Amino acid sequence: MSHAFITGVGNTPFGRHEGYSTLDLMAQAAKQALSSAQLERKDIDGVLCGYSTTMPHLMLSTLFCERFSLRPNYAHSLQVGGATGAAMLMLARELVASGRCRNVLVLAGENRLTGQTRDSSIQTLAQVGHADYEVPNGASVPAYYGLMASRYMYETGVTSEDLAEFAVLMRDNAIHHPDAHLTTPISIAEVLASKPIAEPLRLLDCCPISDGAVAVIVSAQPPQGPRVRMTGAGQAHLHQHLTAMKDVMDCGAAAASKIAFKEAGLQVSDINYLGIYDSFTITLTMLLEEIGFAPRAGAAKRLRQGDFSKKGDLPLNTHGGLLSFGHSGVAGGMAHAVETYRQCAGLASDRQVNVPEHAFVHADGGVMSSHVSLILSREG
């Protein structure tokens, strides 16, 4: 595999951006990424764009290119739910490694908070459910995850208190990021006392809906500064719908990560930093345990020991994750990769941990349906 480096990143603040469209937000993030990479628009010969539920355009990538004055040789949009950002980065890696492109702009953004009504958002997202067996019963995304959480907690003994630990950690991390959506401190007691959304999940077990955008540039040539290379990537797709999930202990995360680790020539024990998808607290718990960063029912124990803190062995989502940094669709998942890059490059400001040599990013789409794992390694 030829080299594929992350050379620039950018993001808007996440939260409420009244009057800003999907294209407005993406343009802001893309401008930051170009500046970060010290590239000009003419240097971009590939563009990958995530979908937007508030602007479901059939040609969103070329629409953005027109808006942003880009004329790439290669452009298209992707859709694999929350895994889209990681999947686009994996594809960008393949494009530069093959010689097809030199610099690929990967971007996503959405005015999901202000650009649609609450009912419209719920209805749109609920379509990840089965059209015949799930959607007609009125299920929502939290309902799907609540059902999955109930089964997982029954089989493992994971408790609501265990899940609440992760909500508190993500909020503690977000407090230190100037672009985070939610920065008010919370306690375990407050998580447990928050409004029930879909038992056993409560309001603070769920990510917020945000406006925001993220952009990443993947290049064939290394940058002048810190070199952060994508050394491994893997995917797995074992099911789409909750009713087709055969085993909550094997959702596809382990399979995707196994491919990425093999490709990078690394093991779980080699990883120094984690960027793990956390649409709900149960998502984060299940992924950490299935991939092998904690034993079954042991993720919260590792957290309590301090292993996932900024000073721990495996700092986790130091930007605050989806649970507190915010969730603006595809960009929400991409924010994990941006923070991971910044940590590996030593550019994370007062959030900086001991600079990781190898970092692991994982995203899932649907109801733990599509899985993408990435490994980022610092060189030099």
CB 308 within 8 Å of CB 315: yes
How many Cβ atoms are within 10 Å of 52's Cβ, its own excluded? 27
- Considering the domain boundaries, does residue 96 fall inside one? yes
Strand runs labelled E in the chain = 5-11, 46-50, 74-78, 103-111, 196-198, 201-202, 211-219, 227-237, 273-276, 358-365, 370-379
The upper half-sphere exposure of residue 280, i.e. CA atoms within 13 Å in the direction of its Cβ, equals 24
Listing from the earlier edge strand, what are the strands of the sheet with 227-237? 74-78, 46-50, 103-111, 211-219, 5-11, 227-237, 370-379, 358-365, 273-276
All residues at 6 or more sequence positions from 37 whose CB lies less than 8 Å from its CB, including other chains? 7, 8, 103, 217, 219, 223
Give the Cα separation of 141 and 367 in Å (integer): 8
Type of residue at 164: A
Residue 242 maps to a domain: no
Task: Identify whether 51 is part of a domain.
Answer: yes
pLDDT score of 264: 97
Q: How far apart are CA 24 and CA 37, in angstroms?
A: 20
On whether residue 314 sits in a domain, the answer given is: no
List the structure tokens of 359: 């970092």
Terminal CA-CA length for the chain: 19
Residue 167's SS3 state is: helix
**Would you state the pLDDT for residue 259?**
98
Asked, for residue 16, whether it belongs to a domain, the answer is yes
Q: Is residue 44 part of a domain?
A: yes
286 forms bridges with which residues in the sheet? none
Beta 74-78 vs 46-50: how paired, if at all? parallel
- Quick check: is 74 in a domain? yes
| Ordered per-residue pLDDT tens for the chain, 380 residues | 468 999 999 999 999 999 999 999 999 999 999 999 999 999 999 999 999 999 999 999 999 999 999 999 999 999 999 999 999 999 999 999 999 999 999 999 999 999 998 888 888 888 889 999 999 998 899 999 999 999 999 999 999 999 999 999 999 999 999 999 999 999 999 999 999 999 999 999 999 999 999 999 999 999 998 999 999 999 999 999 999 999 999 999 999 999 999 999 999 999 999 999 999 999 999 999 999 999 999 999 999 999 999 999 999 999 999 999 999 999 999 999 999 999 999 999 999 999 999 999 999 999 999 999 999 999 97
CATH number at residue 28: 3.40.47.10
Q: What is the number of domains present in the chain?
A: 1
pLDDT of residue 2: 64
Residue 65 lies in a domain: yes
Q: How far apart are CA 332 and CA 321, in angstroms?
A: 8
- Whole-angstrom Cα distance, residue 34 to residue 73? 18
DSSP letter at 323 equals: I
Contact call for residues 333 and 195 (beta carbons, < 8 A): no
CB of 175 within 8 A of CB of 185? yes
Q: What is the DSSP string of 324-367?
A: II---THHHHHHHHHHHHHHHHT--GGG--SPPSEEEEEEEETT
> Does residue 333 contact residue 86 with C-beta atoms inside 8 Å?
yes
What pLDDT does 229 receive?
Answer: 98
Angle between helices 253-264 and 281-291 in degrees, nearest 10: 50
41: domain range?
Answer: 5-115+210-219
* Closest residue by Cα to residue 344 from 330, 361, 332: 361
Q: What are phi and psi of 219, to 5 degrees?
A: -130, 155
